[in-house]
């Protein structure tokens, strides 16, 4: 009889535990996943907090309005300024490549000129072949030196153009951010740069 009671208790306990295991857990409110999309202000590294409880859709609208207002009042668009810097970088790279191609073979051209001049000088001195060889060697060195100088000048000019474009872009972006922040503050946002 004791064995029957023990088996019955065990069976009852097993039934209770299996029923609890099959009962679904209470539902919790789902947490919204971040969208991963930045606001217009955050993209510009301007952080705006809605001080008057504005909704996210209202904030998006206000940021768009302030963006357009800032473009009109500063005359610059930070996204366009970034494109200008990229264009200056591409132009500098293209100029350097063109100079490299134009100066390719400068040593050979220098050798031909030097050999001709050396042959004339050598003929006067009595050994045109030796003069031509010396002139060709000097011409190779001079031709390569001129080519290297042209490439360095082009690289320096390209770097100056890129730096000027970058500086102008930074100044325009700073002015734009001030205007953008002032507009958002007028619409009751707390703004930090």
Q: Give the number of domains in the chain.
A: 1
- Has residue 188 been placed in a domain? yes
pLDDT per residue of the chain (193 residues) written in tens, 0 to 9? 554 554 444 444 455 545 554 545 445 555 554 556 789 999 999 999 999 999 999 999 999 999 999 999 999 999 888 888 888 888 888 887 877 676 666 656 665 666 666 666 656 666 667 666 666 676 667 767 777 777 788 878 878 888 888 898 899 999 999 999 999 999 999 999 8
HSE on the CB side for 153, CA within 13 Å? 8
- Has residue 177 been placed in a domain? yes
- Has residue 151 been placed in a domain? yes
Question: pTM for this structure?
Answer: 0.57
Q: What is the helix, strand, coil percentage profile of the chain, to 5?
A: 75, 5, 20
CA–CA dist 39, 54 (Å, integer)? 14
- Has residue 29 been placed in a domain? no
- Has residue 131 been placed in a domain? yes
Residue 63 pLDDT = 96
Residue 33 pLDDT = 44
Residue 96 pLDDT = 77
- Has residue 58 been placed in a domain? yes
- Has residue 19 been placed in a domain? no
Q: Which domain holds residue 51?
A: 41-192
Residue 61 pLDDT = 96
Residue 142 burial (10 A CB sphere; 0-12, 13-18, 19+): middle
Tell which residue, 87, 97, 96, 76, has the closest CA to residue 165: 87
């Amino acid at each position: 009889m004791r064995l029957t009671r023990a088996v019955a208790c065990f069976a009852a306990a097993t039934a209770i535990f299996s029923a609890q295991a099959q009962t679904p857990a209470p539902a919790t409110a789902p947490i919204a996943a971040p969208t991963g999309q930045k606001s217009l202000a955050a993209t510009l590294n301007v952080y705006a907090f809605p001080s008057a409880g504005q909704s996210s859709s209202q904030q998006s609208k206000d940021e768009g309005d302030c963006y357009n207002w800032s473009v009109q009042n500063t005359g610059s668009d930070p996204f366009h300024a970034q494109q200008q810097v990229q264009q200056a970088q591409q132009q500098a790279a293209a100029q350097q490549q063109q100079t490299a191609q134009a100066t390719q073979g400068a040593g050979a051209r220098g050798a031909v000129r030097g050999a001709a001049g050396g042959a004339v000088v050598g003929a006067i001195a009595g050994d045109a072949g030796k003069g031509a060889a010396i002139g060709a060697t000097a011409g190779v060195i001079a031709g390569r030196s001129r080519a290297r100088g042209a490439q360095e000048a082009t690289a320096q000019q390209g770097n100056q153009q890129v730096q000027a474009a970058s500086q102008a872009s930074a100044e325009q972006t700073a002015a734009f951010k001030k205007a953008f922040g002032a507009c958002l503050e007028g619409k009751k946002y707390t703004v930090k740069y």
